[in-house]
Structure 1
Amino acid sequence: MRLSIPTLVLGFLVPVFATGDDGIVTELKAIAGNWRVVHFEHKGKVAPDGDAKASLAIEAGGKAVLKPQGGEIRFTLSVDPSKSPKQITLTYDEGPLKDAKQFGIYKLEGTKLTICMAPPKRPEIERPEGFTTEEKDRTLVIHERVDEGK
């Protein structure tokens, strides 16, 4: 049996695209849920425990709501788990940052979700490469999954 080059290329691409979409859906499901902030750091400075109170709710489809003290921020997130470190992009749904993007990286380790972000409206090239904020205009937030049964 003889296969043409286009058939071979298509045969390799279809599984790659299918796996990519499945990987994104799987990853969004993995980070979906209710989270509370347990660590907040900006430009190398760690916020005192009492100042870092906030909750984050993420739906499996990528819609999310961050509730810092006295406020609410709605955004849509997208992920790329094929990158190393994994990439996350927030798109603000309302308010003064409506439609602005914020680029970052993330890791999910058990019940901890760590996100390191560049400021909103910065170009994608400023996406962090590591989970550090020192000497950079970066924000690092560690979230802990909230037990749904409590």
Structure 2
Amino acid sequence: MNRLLFLGLFVLCGCSDSTPPDSQCILGEWVVVDFRSPKATEDRGQRRKHAIISEGTWSEQFQGDTFEDFEYAIDPSKSPKELDLTYTDSSGRHLKVRAIYEIVDEDRLRVCLGSPPIVLKNGKPEFVESVRPITFEAKDGPVISYRRKTKRAEWFFGTRD
């Protein structure tokens, strides 16, 4: 029995020759360590904000202690790897932000968001299609670098008291 548990942990923690799929690698709680916006070189006010990524939901802390929830989909077969974040605005409209991402190592993640799906035109909001970035440069949206707050084994199994 102990051998099976050890083998399961060995594979889950990425200690085997095969790397877990991105859909498993991104799960967990992440802390922002760098936030570069198109308007400034670095937004230090975003540091230490959190993202909690579970299957199907990406919760991102932007302002204060509140989190915004997004549905997400990834496509690791693309180059660069693609991420789509979808949220519902106050009128019930589903809006999608296109992005790219990379898993730098088991404890670091980088995301570059594309253009926002809403722009102001003559002082009125207009809905447009988000444009996906092709490089990790803060042109239309920010580049956010995260480090994992909890180790993957702790995220899946919890910690022991």
Question: Would you call these one fold, judging by a TM-score over 0.5?
Answer: yes
Cα shift at 1:52: 2.5
> Match for 1:145: what amino acid?
R
Q: What residue is the counterpart of 2:135 in the other structure?
A: 130
Identity, in percent, stands at 26
**Residue number among 104, 115, 119 corresponding to 2:115 in the alignment:** 119
Aligned partner of 1:46 in structure 2 is 41
3-state SS of paired residue (1:79): strand
The letter of the residue matching 2:141 is R
Q: TM-score, normalised by structure 1?
A: 0.71
1:147 maps to 2:150 = yes
**Does structure 2 retain, via aligned residues, the 8 Å contact 1:42–1:140?**
yes
Asked if the contact 2:36/2:43 (under 8 Å) is kept, the reply is no
Structure-to-structure mapping, 1:18-33, within 5 angstroms: 26-33=21-28
Provide the alpha-carbon RMSD of the alignment: 2.4
Q: CA deviation at 1:35?
A: 0.2
In structure 1, which of residues 48, 62, 74 is the aligned counterpart of residue 56 of structure 2? 62
Q: Which segments of 5 or more consecutive residues in structure 1 lack a partner in the other structure?
A: 1-24
**Closer/same/farther in 2, CA of residues 73 and 109 from structure 1, 3 Å limit:** same
User: Cα deviations across residues 85-134 of structure 1 (Å, max 9, x unaligned)?
Assistant: 0000000146468511000100001111100011331425x20000011x
> TM-score scaled by structure 2?
0.66
Q: Give the direction of change, closer, same or farther, for the CA distance of 1:123–1:48 in structure 2 (3 Å limit).
A: closer
Question: C-alpha separation between the residues in 1 aligned to 2:31 and 2:60?
Answer: 10
Tell whether the 8 Å contact from 2:115 to 2:132 is kept in structure 1 after alignment: no
Q: Where in structure 2 are there 5+ consecutive unaligned residues?
A: 1-19, 118-127
